[in-house]
Amino acid sequence: MQRPGINPEHAEMSDFLCDFCRQEWTAAIPMVEGHRGSLICASCLTIAYTDVFLLNLDAAPAPATATSTCTLCLQDISTPSWKSPDHACFICKKCINHAASVLAKDPDFNWKKPSPAK
Ligand SMILES: [Zn+2]
Ligand SMILES: [Zn+2]
């Protein structure tokens, strides 16, 4: 996401924030972009990947409650998902997997998909 109230014509890197933890984008922290300027940083992605793929946790509310929309792909969540602990933002399993693949291939960062604890 962009920092609220900035001039998009003169947006700087630090005006872009992770939607899930509101961490500023810096050269040291890789981020993966979703639709409409949504962003997830590597640390949120690590937690999301661990929760959903390794621990099989599912943050999606029961179908009886309002549906949640994935912040990155803007689709209604029908698969297991991860919710930001601090904000009402969800990321679906598909987007976690996609973002993790993008990040793992980025040669500038030594990010790897979390693996199960041994
Ligand atoms: Zn984050
Ligand atoms: Zn998604």
Which tens digits make up the pLDDT trace of 80-105? 899 999 998 999 999 999 999 999 99
Q: Is the pTM of this model over 0.95?
A: no
Cα–ligand 2 centroid distance for 97 (angstroms):
9
- For the chain, how far is it from start to end, CA to CA, in angstroms? 36
**Residue 64: predicted pLDDT:** 39
Cα–ligand 2 centroid distance for 68 (angstroms):
10
Cα–ligand 2 centroid distance for 62 (angstroms):
18
Q: What share of the chain is helix, strand, coil (3-state, %, to 5)?
A: 30, 15, 55
- Proportion of the chain above pLDDT 70, given as a percent: 91
